[in-house]
Structure 1
């Protein structure tokens, strides 16, 4: 019965995902540009509470109408969070935002706060109500289990992370072209070495990178079917700086966690 219901769940989720009413800009910029408004409609802002106010802390990806995928390191026990969907320019109310509180947060059981390079940096947030899907809010597709991106695969990182190391967080959603660096290269000694695992994806490097505030957000890669897939969850960058040469942004590889994702969504 579980297997049958799981197939139905996956089919429903895949039937209308990875499509945008506002196609993204496709310039291969290095340091990121303002994204076209609502062109990445699965991108969410995860906000953390500070007394009576909230502020952006991480990104995330809407993968079902009531489930968001983000990074394990974005979640701190005892803190209050909320999810903002349909966001483009922070600090400006644009009329299409949906603010939804979590009803449950599930961090991967093998995530270790003291060892980010050990992997398993992934978490799921169940929303307290279903998001309304429209031109501003849509689902990203999830890659099939075990799928591996080819070297130099065409992908984009999106988020409200810093444009430069130690700079301010931008108001508008940013995007940057970050081609994939194959594991065989990224795991060599003069790149990330043994720090990077085969359950991770390297993308970008040099001037093309994610930065603080992008954590938890998607690595968006276009499939042969024309849909956008969230192949990665932004995990970490070099302590020497976000755009350090031969230290590309490292993402949790989503296709290594399909079983866990499906089980959490099914049983909760």
Structure 2
């Protein structure tokens, strides 16, 4: 099997490479955003590559997360409200290269005025929780929870209790970047959009996933669509008994021209007991 890169959403502008396996490597390249100021403001455009623009009111629990690290790096992720005061996102958004962001702000209805509003996360008062088993090079337990400074009135997305079987359809959503992630030399060549986008994709058997994945994650495949830089932590949705539920969060995509487009997601059912342990109300 040829060596591939797992393009993994980290806030730095250049790659940082780890080798968890001789034939696989996790390249910590920004799917999330790059240095503040390196990308200019651009008109609204696609986020998830080849996705569909959604009204923020359709998924009011879908959020845009802005992070500032002590070294001045500014980054952006996506996330989902899971209770009146808690947001779930990717751990690598919250723990980049061993560092913790000094400020985190969560925006609801992003790009939709006057509905847009932002709630800070009290980072210094325990508002940022990274899974203790998070393994950055192996993408294991790539999940974290943010406790907001105050409760919000938006209804949260229910958490799935059953994993998505192979060959079932799921929806991915996020506030990420614009162009084809395989063809763009810059993570956000046209800047970040101010729209929420979504796409339908299909879960593939575990044998189609990179060897670094396990029960804590799953893969989805599409010939024409993909998660992109900035979609880290974004929701992966599936109908369970007629109710739309959060079955995963976007973690990475496989950078191999022969495997367009294979995305990796953290499994919510696998992480459910840990998520519940982080706060009451679930």
Shorter-chain TM band: 0.7 to 0.9
SS of equivalent residue, structure 2 residue 228: coil
Partner of 1:179: 202
Unpaired segments ≥5 residues, structure 2: 1-47, 182-186
Match of 1:38 among 50, 57, 68: 57
Match of 1:234 among 239, 243, 250: 250
Unpaired segments ≥5 residues, structure 1: 1-28
Deviation at residue 201 of structure 1 after TM alignment: 1.5
Deviation at residue 30 of structure 1 after TM alignment: 7.7
Mark the CA change 1:78 to 1:55 in structure 2 (over 3 Å): closer, same or farther.
closer
Match of 1:143 among 146, 156, 160: 160
Deviations 1:159-211 (A, max 9, x none): 1212322343222111111111132x324xxxx2x122121021133322101
Deviation at residue 258 of structure 1 after TM alignment: 1.1
Partner of 2:223: 206
Give me the whole-angstrom Cα distance separating, in 2, the residues matched to 1:73 and 1:196.
16
Match of 2:273 among 225, 249, 259: 259
Deviations 1:43-64 (A, max 9, x none): 000012389x996610001000
Give me the whole-angstrom Cα distance separating, in 2, the residues matched to 1:102 and 1:72.
15
Divergent runs of 4+, >3 A? 53-56
Q: Is the 8 A contact 1:143 1:230 kept in 2?
A: yes
Give me the whole-angstrom Cα distance separating, in 1, the residues matched to 2:276 and 2:78.
21
Indicate yes or no: 2:78 matched with 1:59.
yes
Normalised to the residue count of structure 2, the TM-score between the two structures is: 0.70
Give me the whole-angstrom Cα distance separating, in 1, the residues matched to 2:173 and 2:254.
18
Indicate yes or no: 2:118 matched with 1:99.
yes
SS of equivalent residue, structure 1 residue 237: strand
Q: Is the 8 A contact 2:49 2:227 kept in 1?
A: no
Indicate yes or no: 2:146 matched with 1:125.
yes
What is the RMSD computed on CA atoms of the aligned residues?
Answer: 2.6
Give me the whole-angstrom Cα distance separating, in 2, the residues matched to 1:120 and 1:62.
19
Indicate yes or no: 2:131 matched with 1:108.
yes
Aligned pair count? 217
Q: Is the 8 A contact 1:59 1:215 kept in 2?
A: yes
Normalised to the residue count of structure 1, the TM-score between the two structures is: 0.73
Give me the whole-angstrom Cα distance separating, in 1, the residues matched to 2:200 and 2:117.
27
SS of equivalent residue, structure 2 residue 195: coil
SS of equivalent residue, structure 1 residue 177: strand
User: Relative to total residues, which structure has the larger strand share, 1 or 2?
Assistant: 2
